[in-house]
Amino acid sequence: MSTAKGNGLGATNVQPAKTHTKHTFKSTAFTGTSNPRHLRVIAALISRPQLRESIDNVAGCSNGPELIAELRRRGLRIPCPRLNFLDRDGYNCRPGVYHLTNADRRKINQWKAKRLEGTAK
C-alpha cells in the first residue's frame, strides 16, 4: 500500500506525466471536416485572424485551442503568434492570434472544390 496522501507522491507506481510538445506538422493535405464547429472556425479564419477568445465564441465552445489542434491534426497549420499587449488594467499580457497561412488557404480551397465535385455527381 502506498504512503501517499492522495497526491501521488511517494507511490511505487509513479509514471512521468505525458509530455505535450508543440504540434509537428506532417500532413500535406487538409483531410476536411463536417464538424459544424470546425466549419464555423474555418469561415472566421478565412475572413480575418482571430483572437483565441474569438475562436471560442465563433465555434460555440469553451476550448478553442483544442478545436484548433483538431484542425491541425487534419492538415492545417494555423499558426498562433503571441502579441505584446496591455490589458485593461495596464498589465502586460500576450494574447495569441490564430491565422491561416497561404498554404492553409490553398488546402481549404482544394478541399472545398473536391467537396463540391462530390455533391455535383
The pTM of the full predicted model, rounded to 2 decimals, is 0.74
Backbone angles phi, psi at 72, to 5 degrees: -65, -40
Residue 101 has pLDDT above 90, yes or no: yes
Residue 8 lies in a domain: no
What pLDDT, on a 0 to 100 scale, did the predictor assign at position 93? 95
Is residue 94 a part of any domain in this protein? yes
Check pLDDT > 70 for residue 37: yes
Full residue range of the structural domain in which residue 78 is found:
36-120
If one counts the domains in the chain, the total is: 1
- Region for 43 from its dihedrals, namely left if φ exceeds 0, alpha if ψ lies in -120 to 50, beta otherwise: alpha
- Say what the pLDDT of residue 117 is: 84
At residue 5, does pLDDT exceed 50? no
Task: State the CATH number of the domain containing residue 106.
Answer: 1.10.10.10
pLDDT in tens, 9-23: 444 544 444 444 455
